[in-house]
Amino acid sequence: MLFWGMSFVWSSILLDYYQPVTIIFIRLIISSGFLFLLIFLLKKQQKIHRKDYLLIFLSAIFNPFLYFLGENYGLKFSSSTVTAVIIATIPVFSPIVARITLNERLSWYNITGILISFIGVVVMLLNKDMNIMIDPKGVLFLSGAVVSALVYSVLLKKLSSDYSPLVLIAYQNLIGIFLFMPFFFFLEFRQFLTVTPDLKIVTSFLFLGILASSLAYVFYAKTVKALGISKTNIFTNLIPVFTAIFSFFILSEYFTVLKVTGILIVIAGVIITELNQLKRKS
């Protein structure tokens, strides 16, 4: 969640120079190269069964393809913190999706924690006049990203029982490169050539590719396998917390009392969701 929270800051930096598809395309190239190198060095190669070809391809369509389109274009029309906050609504809908598709159950601690975290997310969106200020275009794209993430979670859960997270994310990102390639070359390649990369651009791309698109997804996939979709997605409420903090220091975004209050409420909600697990262990 720390890496994903930071990803909105790195993407915001890059959006000053490049269009969304360019950022995603280069991000996925770096990620795929890094992950396949890691697979080779750690000797984690796995053969993909023919019966799973379609499922892996579908998972790549929802994430990285549709999810990143929604996230990056949403970020183009919103601030990094607002984008992260909307993405953090994923756990609100996850229990419904998990219940319908995978028959996962939640305790009252989980439900209470979800509701409290969502309240914190809403508080973070309020201005001093207690109004929610969001660009409708940004909401539309980000809503698409949320739906894509929910569908992806279900597909990932089905695949994670047979394949390691490292292998899954590597192949999904590789497929994502080919899905984005036509859009990059036909729509944004000329604009891409006009930019001379500096240290800030290069480091932002490396952080996005290695930390946000590689390690974060591997950690997420391992957690989905261990905890299930609903309990894992609860922790996405921490994304806007990290984004808000780093946006303040790096992007100089304004930090209001309401934003701080919302952050604290989100953290409280996440803690509550785990109280049941802690009681069982004790």
Residue 276: what pLDDT?
Answer: 61
Task: State CA 233 to chain mean position distance.
Answer: 10
Dihedral Cα 90, 95, 97, 98, nearest 10 deg: 120
Residue 262: what pLDDT?
Answer: 84
Show me where the domains of the chain are located: 2-281
**How far apart are the C-alpha atoms of 234 and 229, rounded to whole Å?**
9
Residue with tokens 């799973």: 52
Could you tell me if 217 and 5 are in contact, meaning their C-beta atoms sit under 8 angstroms apart? no
Residue 100: what pLDDT?
Answer: 78
**How far apart are the C-alpha atoms of 272 and 269, rounded to whole Å?**
5
Could you tell me if 96 and 35 are in contact, meaning their C-beta atoms sit under 8 angstroms apart? no
CA angle 164, 226, 62 (to 5 degrees): 60
Residue 255: what pLDDT?
Answer: 74
Contacts of 15 (CB under 8 A, 6+ apart): 23, 72, 75, 76
The secondary structure of residue 266, as a DSSP letter, is H
Q: Which two tokens stand for residue 77?
A: 């029309």
Residue 280: what pLDDT?
Answer: 58
Average pLDDT, rounded, for the chain: 86
**How far apart are the C-alpha atoms of 178 and 28, rounded to whole Å?**
10
Residue 16 phi/psi, 5° resolution?
-75, -15
**How far apart are the C-alpha atoms of 22 and 31, rounded to whole Å?**
14
Residue 282: what pLDDT?
Answer: 54
Residue 277: what pLDDT?
Answer: 57
pTM: 0.84
Could you tell me if 227 and 93 are in contact, meaning their C-beta atoms sit under 8 angstroms apart? no
The stretches in the chain having pLDDT less than 50 are: none
**How far apart are the C-alpha atoms of 97 and 192, rounded to whole Å?**
39
Residue 20: what pLDDT?
Answer: 95
